[in-house]
Amino acid sequence: MMNKWTVALAATGMVSLASAVLAEESHPVNTLLPATTLSGYVDTSAIWNFGSGHNQAARFVNTGNDRQDGFNVDVVKLALEKPLDEGTWSAGYKTELWFGPDAGGLPGSLSGSDLAVKQAYVALRAPVGNGLDFKLGQFDPIIGYEVADANGNPNFSRSFGFALEPLSHTGILAAYQFSEIIGATAGVADTAFGKINAKAGAGESIKTYMAAVTVKAPESLGWLAGSSLYAGVVDGGGGANGTGAFASKKDAVNLYVGASVATPIKALSLGVGYDYLANGSGVSTYGNSISGYATYTLTEKLKANVREEYATSSGGYFGGGNDEKFFGSTLTLDYSLWANVVTRAEFRWDHAANGAAAIFGTGAKRNDYSLALNVIYKF
């Protein structure tokens, strides 16, 4: 339907009705809106930390010290997206905004506020071979077994490995699927640990470079079908090593290898992720973490997710000082009771094998126990 101003102009003869109809039909807004989707979620939690202390090993802000022993609104997410079409030349976009305390933990947070641009990129597809896809703007990292969105993970709390990884990049990313088995991504971005558009002190030649490859098991492999092996590297271009003379610093480098594996037992799936970060908190420091995952479907609505972890660091990456070692064990029960709602209860035990003895509280407290309830409504 034409708006009243178009009708008025047509009545005066300034535009023709035919041209007005054509303009209405081909206007970018009219063609964009029907293809745009709105989605998101509301993420809430309650955490009880056993004992009198509430200090935590560093994972992510949703289980930080300030979230213990009470009720929390973690984050509200709103996403607008026009996905790529199957056509030869296709364009789209994606914008994800976070509102709430978790937003302050993202590089895209606005001056440390409770608002963050999680993703904001233009997506393009070029008719090269099987189709070459690009993202230009702010996009999620290409490495890691877990993601920033809590409902995308088997557990509510994040892994130690997640704490070693970049949370986003501002740059350009290319992806190509060589076959149903092998796919690859590669990109270049601003410094890995900075805010959106962060380039201060880096110089025009200092950039973050990244690449990854995915290998998926084909249907012909029977019960292994759907399993995948993933490997990636991110050279952070100076990373967290200051903003001065970057040329005298070593790059922060992330290495990641992960796999998700189907098993002959239909209800059981396994996974593993290994992270290594060099020079993340200073030259010659390191952190690494290995996590094992198991998901077992108990009933149509109930799943049990287990994560076992071991992490070490020479630079206090997890809050325990130099030469720290941590063990972590997490059990999450996920029960689908209401439509569009994630409801799960989680018990987590962290053990500091060495490093700062008082990491979890006063005295020589090396063990931390917590019980969490996580409720997420998705729309």
As a whole number, the mean pLDDT across the chain is 86
Q: Examine the pLDDT at 194 and tell me if it is beyond 70.
A: no
122-131, 149-158, 203-212, 296-305: range with lowest mean pLDDT: 203-212
User: b/e string for 153-184 if b means 16 or more Cβ within 10 A?
Assistant: bbbbbbbbbbbbbbbbbbbbbbbebeeeeebe
Q: Examine the pLDDT at 264 and tell me if it is beyond 80.
A: yes
Q: What is 272-340 written as a DSSP string?
A: EEEEEEESSSSTT-EEEEEEEEEEEE-SSSEEEEEEEEEEEESS-TTSS-TTEEEEEEEEEEEE--STT
- Maximal CA-CA distance, the chain: 86
Residue 304's pLDDT is what?
A: 98
254-263, 283-292, 327-336, 351-360: range with lowest mean pLDDT: 351-360
Q: What's the rounded Cα separation, in Å, for the pair 149 and 70? A: 21
- Nearest Cα neighbor of 189 from 202, 178, 180 is 202
Considering only residues 276 and 10, tell me which one the structure prediction assigns the higher pLDDT: 276
When pLDDT is cut at 50, 70 and 90, the band that residue 243 belongs to is very low
Backbone angles phi, psi at 228, to 5 degrees: -145, 150
Q: What's the rounded Cα separation, in Å, for the pair 311 and 147? A: 18
Using CA of residue 132, residue 190, residue 102, residue 57, what is the dihedral sign? positive
Q: Over the stretch 12-61, which tens digit does the pLDDT of each residue have? A: 443 444 444 434 444 555 556 678 999 999 999 999 999 877 788 889 99
- Nearest Cα neighbor of 69 from 54, 81, 91 is 54
Average pLDDT over residues 341-361: 83
Give me the amino acid identity at 56: Q
> Please, what are the domains in the chain?
1-35 (no CATH), 36-378 (2.40.160.10)
Average pLDDT over residues 181-193: 89
Q: What's the rounded Cα separation, in Å, for the pair 155 and 157? A: 6
Residue 362's pLDDT is what?
A: 58
Average pLDDT over residues 77-81: 97
Q: What's the rounded Cα separation, in Å, for the pair 22 and 223? A: 54
When pLDDT is cut at 50, 70 and 90, the band that residue 357 belongs to is low
Q: Which residues pair with 43 in a beta bridge?
A: 75, 376
Average pLDDT over residues 248-252: 67
30-44, 166-180, 231-245, 291-305: range with lowest mean pLDDT: 231-245
Which residues neighbour 5 within 8 Å (Cβ) at sequence distance 6 or greater? none
Q: Examine the pLDDT at 236 and tell me if it is beyond 50.
A: yes
Structure letter (DSSP) for residue 181: S
Q: Examine the pLDDT at 187 and tell me if it is beyond 90.
A: yes
Q: What's the rounded Cα separation, in Å, for the pair 305 and 297? A: 9
Q: What's the rounded Cα separation, in Å, for the pair 142 and 168? A: 9
Task: Say if CB 211 and CB 184 are below 8 A apart.
Answer: yes
Q: Over the stretch 164-185, which tens digit does the pLDDT of each residue have? A: 999 999 999 999 999 999 999 9
When pLDDT is cut at 50, 70 and 90, the band that residue 323 belongs to is confident
Considering only residues 3 and 130, tell me which one the structure prediction assigns the higher pLDDT: 130
Please provide the distance, in angstroms rounded to a whole number, between the alpha carbons at the two ends of the chain: 29
Average pLDDT over residues 225-246: 72
The C-alpha R_g of the chain, in whole angstroms, comes to 24
